[in-house]
Chains A and B, each alone.
Chain A
Amino acid sequence: AQKVTQAQTEISVVEKEDVTLDCVYETRDTTYYLFWYKQPPSGELVFLIRRNSFDEQNEISGRYSWNFQKSTSSFNFTITASQVVDSAVYFCALRRTSGTYKYIFGTGTRLKVLA
């Protein structure tokens, strides 16, 4: 069975602080994809990143960075120098590379960045 766990229900930080959102996944597949999505207060989910299991390189995009560690089945997301506009619910998701293409989402982490 596949599962995604986001243990942090809600995090509050003060603007300019760094924050890390945790994501732990379970799968028996040897190949798979991992994703992060952002759901701002407006409601529409926005794609942030996709990572395939072949590639354990960390990725940085501006203030965002992702740390993928297969050994601990984790795909954590760090926001550096957080801003109020980063306030949203962030979802981690898992998908197989073959067979069924359904996405398994975590329960999300609500991030509040206070001015």
Chain B
Amino acid sequence: GAGVSQSPSNKVTEKGKDVELRCDPISGHTALYWYRQRLGQGLEFLIYFQGNSAPDKSGLPSDRFSAERTGESVSTLTIQRTQQEDSAVYLCASSETAQEHYEQYFGPGTRLTVT
């Protein structure tokens, strides 16, 4: 079956512009996670959604970052007024549910470059 997909795969934007990154999870997966991975660094948790529960936004680095999820499907991560420090690969992952210890399936990521 289809895995997690993300679009665009690459995004170059000018400092100060807004960007939207999209994640399509595996069908039926109720949990969806966003991570940021700066060059040569580990994964930094941003936010996760679990079904209709309130998302855990504790990892969002500033109020310029926000994310939405429509039901149990597509999610968008929005970065407003982008800064050069936002340059990174943004990874999305989904799992059957967050409560249980189901493995996360990762997408290929969106590489964001802010010039």
Contacts and interface: CB of A to CB of B under 8 A. Distances in A.
Interface in A100-114: 100-108
Nearest to B105: A47
A50 interface: yes
Taking residues whose C-beta sits less than 8 angstroms from the other chain, chain B's interface range is 20 to 34
Given A33-B101, A45-B91, A52-B101, A103 B45 contact: yes
B107 A101 contact: no
Chain A at the B interface: mostly helix, strand, loop or mixed? strand
20 contacts: A35-B103, A37-B106, A43-B109, A44-B107, A44-B108, A45-B43, A45-B104, A45-B106, A46-B106, A50-B103, A52-B101, A95-B101, A101-B48, A102-B45, A102-B48, A103-B43, A105-B35, A105-B44, A107-B42, A108-B42
Given A37-B106, A103-B45, 10 more contacts: A6-B42, A33-B101, A44-B109, A45-B43, A46-B106, A47-B104, A52-B101, A103-B43, A104-B45, A105-B45
